[in-house]
Amino acid sequence: MKSEIFAKELNYIKTDEIRKLVETGLENLPDYFYTMPASTTGKYHPSYALGTGGLVRHTKAAVLFCNYICGLEQTQHDFNQMERDCMIAGIILHDGHKEGNKGGSYTVFEHPQICADWIRNDDIFTGFDPKYRELIASVIESHMGQWNTSTRSKLVLSKPTTPCQKLVHLCDYLASRKDIEVKFSEAIPVADIPSAEFPTLEEYTMPFGKYKGKLLTDVVKEDRDYVEWLYSKCALREPLKTYVSDILKGEK
């Protein structure tokens, strides 16, 4: 089960219904959530959050920060148990739709709102207490904090205003700083994610960018500098990463 990947984090949640809500969400997230890096361009987030499974590690780090902060004597009376549980629930699910509903090659700016609307409206959450769903959705939709606008979107995301929203944003922010490293003692398994059937190198077409839809082999012939730039600057996903690596090595 996918939710087993977050067994440790789920144990932080004391309210049974909230824990079951998160488990339901984890089982129904897009498969890409469990394999993609936290930063699709490689420009942002620390090294542990890059590469395959990076987004899962980023999420676990943000939950860890939240659990530590809530355990401090000075914050023990700032939040009740339901609020603590909903903040952790929100952090676990906050980037669940980072590439949108269907997945792509880059982060979708609107992903906080997409995920919040999913919590509020999807039938899979019918039967869970609306107050839990609303609080979880509210901390998700504002988790980007001051980075709430984009030239690529007309949507203006919500900024955190409540104590719960502010703490969730803070934890996500800390988990995205390049100079703060979190150690993971063992590899994080990816359960129940079907193996992708990739096209061959000769059939593979570019999934994004100015050459979207063109054969990778043709792009290399036409604009090798562009392919080298992609390989050196972007956190490419499979099979593009392997194909580009093999091509460039073969040309040396």
What pLDDT, on the 0 to 100 scale, is given for residue 102?
65
Please indicate, yes or no, whether residues 130 and 46 belong to a single structural domain of this protein.
yes
- In a domain, residue 187? The reply is no
- In a domain, residue 192? The reply is no
Residue pair 44/28 in contact (Cβ under 8 Å)? The answer is: no
Distance, CA of 6 to CA of 10 (rounded, Å):
6
- In a domain, residue 60? The reply is yes
What pLDDT, on the 0 to 100 scale, is given for residue 192?
47
Please indicate, yes or no, whether residues 168 and 235 belong to a single structural domain of this protein.
no
Please indicate, yes or no, whether residues 169 and 201 belong to a single structural domain of this protein.
no
Distance, CA of 163 to CA of 148 (rounded, Å):
18
Question: Closest Cα partner for 236 from 99, 37, 58?
Answer: 37
Helix axes 81-93, 163-174, angle to 10 degrees: 40
How does the average pLDDT of the chain come out, rounded? 88
Answer whether residue 125 shows pLDDT above 70: yes
What pLDDT, on the 0 to 100 scale, is given for residue 252?
40
Please indicate, yes or no, whether residues 167 and 209 belong to a single structural domain of this protein.
no
- pLDDT by residue (tens digit) across 165-200? 999 999 999 999 989 999 887 666 554 454 445 678
- In a domain, residue 105? The reply is yes
Residue 239, token pair as written in the block: 């099979």
Helix residue spans in 71-223 (DSSP H):
81-93, 111-121, 130-141, 163-174, 216-222
Q: Which residues, other chains included, contact 166 with Cβ-Cβ below 8 Å and sequence gap of 6+?
A: 160
Phi, psi of 26 (to 5 degrees): -60, -40
Confidence of residue 147 (pLDDT cuts 50, 70, 90): very high
DSSP letter (8 states) at residue 215 = B
Residue pair 240/220 in contact (Cβ under 8 Å)? The answer is: no
Residue 177, token pair as written in the block: 């700083």
Please indicate, yes or no, whether residues 164 and 213 belong to a single structural domain of this protein.
no
What pLDDT, on the 0 to 100 scale, is given for residue 195?
46
Region 72-79: what's the mean pLDDT?
94
- The last residue of one of the domains, among 174, 205, 237, is 174
Please indicate, yes or no, whether residues 150 and 223 belong to a single structural domain of this protein.
no
Confidence of residue 251 (pLDDT cuts 50, 70, 90): low
Please indicate, yes or no, whether residues 149 and 252 belong to a single structural domain of this protein.
no
What pLDDT, on the 0 to 100 scale, is given for residue 201?
83
What pLDDT, on the 0 to 100 scale, is given for residue 197?
55
Instruction: Rounding to the nearest 10 degrees, give the CA dihedral for residues 98, 103, 107, 110.
Output: -60
Region 209-238: what's the mean pLDDT?
83
Q: Picking from 145-159, 204-218, 222-236, which range would have the lowest pLDDT averaged per residue? A: 222-236
Region 89-99: what's the mean pLDDT?
96
Please indicate, yes or no, whether residues 101 and 153 belong to a single structural domain of this protein.
yes
Please indicate, yes or no, whether residues 9 and 91 belong to a single structural domain of this protein.
yes
- In a domain, residue 188? The reply is no
Number of domains in the chain: 2
Please indicate, yes or no, whether residues 90 and 203 belong to a single structural domain of this protein.
no
What pLDDT, on the 0 to 100 scale, is given for residue 65?
98
Q: Picking from 14-18, 111-115, 150-154, 181-185, which range would have the lowest pLDDT averaged per residue? A: 181-185
**Domain span at residue 144?**
2-174
Answer whether residue 36 shows pLDDT above 90: no
- CATH number of the domain encompassing residue 168: 1.10.3210.10
Report the run of H or E that residue 33 belongs to, with start and end: none
